[in-house]
Amino acid sequence: MHSKVWNCCLKVFKDNLESSTYKTFFEPIKPISLQNGVLLVEVPTMFFYEYIEENFIDLLKKTIVKYLGPEAKLEYRVRMCNKMVEGPDTTPAMMTIASRDNHRNRITNQPVALPMPAEDKKFNPFVVPGIKKISIDPQLNPEYSLDNFMEGDCNRLARSAGMAIATHPELTTFNPLFIHGSSGLGKSHLAQGIGIEVKERFPDKIVLYVNANKFQTQFQDAKVKNEIPNFLHFYQLIDILIIDDVHELAGKEKTQNAFFHIFNHLHQKKKQIIMTSDKAPADLEGIEERLLSRFKWGLTTEILPPDLDTRIRILRHKARRDGVDMPEDVIEFVARNVTSNVRELEGARISLLAEATLNRKAITVELAMATMDKLIRHRKQDMSIDYIKKTVCSYYNVPEDLLLSNTRKREIVTARQVTMYFSKTLTKNALASIGAQIGHKNHATVLHACKTVNNLLETDKKFRLQLQEIENKLKK
């Protein structure tokens, strides 16, 4: 009976979803049982569960109710390493999540010896499978060379360390190199610049740049295909591994576990590891302590917002590179008025050039003033979870430490749920990352909080007005 009901549901899903989405996320699901209106299905990984619940839950609910009635429930079990374990309900009337078996088939904390795949079957997530010889595209942007990275007091230590690595990659003084700083200051540029310099000086070195989110996606894909040993072995082949936005691994325990083994292997083999993050290791939340301690083994260096002299030199360099005649008084005006980060400086420069080109005007201070005025009026504040926490706590007059605690007092719970709601709607953080930064909660708690807030928005006028006031404060 459960198979028949699920097959009926699949026909609905197939009609309402793109073919690739259906094949990727619904074909692997297996019906397990149907008892008392509860349909239990098996999903391959926790990633499947989180992605399906976040993106397709309304379609699932409506379809299940259509075939099983209004009291129907859908529950999930997650297969972990070929061992099935059931867990408690985590959100009302929707899902039962399996926790992984911690005693069988797990990756241990010890170094792993992995067999070398056959020459014609080497695992490479960056190229088409089946290549005869491993060939790894370093995934580097040629525009991000060290020649295009302007040195100043704000980044001198980081750039000097990067050049030392590029010149002598066999040295371990700066291994790992951990670069942190706010968004838009050039962390990714510098990290990739080091990789580019290494490839130019040492063409035989295997260099790889990968964003932490892509690393996570590759790990999940390898997990679904039972290729985790090959995934680990692939990354253990790298000579210079650059992991961008490593803070995005927050809350992803299994991915962190894989990265832990890769880190250990590379470090023991004296291979260079470079990481970037929006925070220093000591300030990261949701990252295992054993990884944080390793992040501190080498050099941790911060990139700060560029000073006036650096901003002027950046604008001069880009003008020369693009063959644009930008007067010195215009360069100084822009540099003095855009102070937060390099990304906004570049945006202002491009906007000014666009205004001059499209309207056939000379690049003058007057034109720059008009362009800056438009940018300032339309500029939105970069939203962060920390900023949302402070704003919500201020609105509800709640101490931030209580917001992050486990207290169940009504006013604290409300503030916590509102913080999670705005963190999901106003930032690009993953659910697990949001939970990790708000009291070390899991992704299911964040989803439940968002659903609770959405329900109150529809039914409680007073609450709706409160949320509007908070949103206005956040977007000022």
Residue 75 CA to residue 33 CA, distance in Å, equals: 10
**Per-residue pLDDT tens digits for 263-274:** 988 998 899 999
**Mean of the pLDDT values across residues 172-183?**
87
Specify whether the CB–CB gap between 314 and 188 falls below 8 A: no
How remote is the C-alpha of 404 from its chain's centroid? 22
Domain shared by 162 and 278, yes or no: yes
Same domain for 201 and 151, yes or no, is: yes
- Looking at 323, 350, 378, the residue that finishes a domain is 378
Q: 296 and 313 in one domain?
A: no
Q: What is the CATH number of the domain that holds 23?
A: 3.30.300.180
* Percentage of the residues of the chain whose pLDDT score is greater than 70: 84
Q: What is the pTM of this model?
A: 0.53
Please give the distance of CA 29 from its chain centroid, rounded to a whole number. 26
Cα dist from 168 to 162, 194, 198, 266, 272, whole Å:
10, 11, 9, 16, 10
Q: How confident is the model at residue 374 (pLDDT cuts 50, 70, 90)?
A: low
Strand pairing report for 30-35 and 38-43 = antiparallel
| Residue 127: inside a domain | no
Residues 372 and 394 in one domain: no
* Domain-embedded: residue 73: yes
Q: Is residue 152 part of a domain?
A: yes
Indicate if the pLDDT at residue 161 is higher than 80. yes
CATH of the domain at 337: 1.10.8.60
pLDDT in tens, 260-309: 989 988 998 899 999 999 888 988 888 999 999 999 888 899 888 888 88
Sign of the CA dihedral with 152 first, then 156, 159, and 163 last = positive
pLDDT score of 14 more than 50: yes
Q: What pLDDT is recorded for position 191?
A: 95
Tell me the residue range of the domain where 289 lies: 136-302
Considering the domain architecture, whether residues 158 and 291 belong to the same structural domain is answered as: yes
Residue 118 has pLDDT above 70, yes or no: no
346 assigned to some structural domain: yes
Residue 476: per-residue pLDDT: 63
Of 304, 303, 305, 299, nearest in space to 161 by CA: 299
Does one domain contain both 338 and 394? no
- Same domain? For 243 and 141 the reply is yes
- CATH number of the CATH domain containing 254: 3.40.50.300
Place of tokens 């939970």: 435
Give yes or no: residues 330 and 213 share one domain: no
Look at 16-25, 105-114, 146-155 and tell me which has the smallest mean pLDDT. Answer: 105-114
301-337 per-position pLDDT tens digit: 988 888 888 888 888 888 888 787 888 888 888 888 7
- Residue among 464, 397, 368, 386 at smallest CA distance from 426: 386
Weakest-pLDDT range from 83-92, 369-378, 387-396, 444-453: 83-92
Q: Is residue 437 part of a domain?
A: yes
Q: What is the pLDDT of residues 56-78, one digit of tens each?
A: 888 888 888 888 888 888 888 87
240 bridge partner residues:
207, 272
Domain stops at, among 275, 302, 329: 302
pLDDT (0 to 100) of residue 46:
65
Same domain, 10 and 92: yes
Residues 224 and 313 in one domain: no
Count CA within 13 A, CB hemisphere, residue 291: 27
List 243's β-bridge partners, or say none.
Answer: 210, 275
Examine the domain organization and report whether 223 and 282 are in the same domain. Answer: yes
3-state secondary structure the chain: CHHHHHHHHHHHHHHHCCHHHHHHHCCCCEEEEEECCEEEEEECCHHHHHHHHHHHHHHHHHHHHHHHCCCCEEEEEEEECCEECCCCEEECCCEECCCCCCCCCCCCCCCCCCCCCCHHHCCCCCCCCCCCCCCCCCCCCHHHCHHHCCCCCCCHHHHHHHHHHHHCCCCCCCCCEEEECCCCCCHHHHHHHHHHHHHHHCCCCCEEEEEHHHHHHHHHHHHHCCCHHHHHHHHCCCCEEEEECHHHHCCCHHHHHHHHHHHHHHHHCCCEEEEEECCCHHHCCCCCHHHHHHHCCCEEEECCCCCHHHHHHHHHHHHHHHCCCCCHHHHHHHHHHCCCCHHHHHHHHHHHHHHHHHCCCCCCHHHHHHHHHHHHHHCCCCCCHHHHHHHHHHHHCCCHHHHCCCCCCHHHHHHHHHHHHHHHHHCCCCHHHHHHHCCCCCHHHHHHHHHHHHHHHHHCHHHHHHHHHHHHHHCC
How many domains are there within the chain? 4
CB distance 364 to 330 below 8 Å:
yes
468 pLDDT band, cuts 50/70/90, is confident
User: What pLDDT is attached to residue 92?
Assistant: 30
Residue 343's pLDDT band (cuts 50, 70, 90): confident
Residues 360 and 396 in one domain: no
pLDDT in tens, 187-244: 999 999 999 999 999 998 999 999 998 999 899 888 888 888 888 888 988 999 999 9
The residue from 280, 302, 324 where one domain ends is: 302
Whether the bond between 176 and the residue before it is cis, its omega within 30 degrees of 0, is yes
Cα–Cα separations (whole angstroms), residue 246 to 138, 179, 184, 226, 284: 18, 10, 16, 24, 10
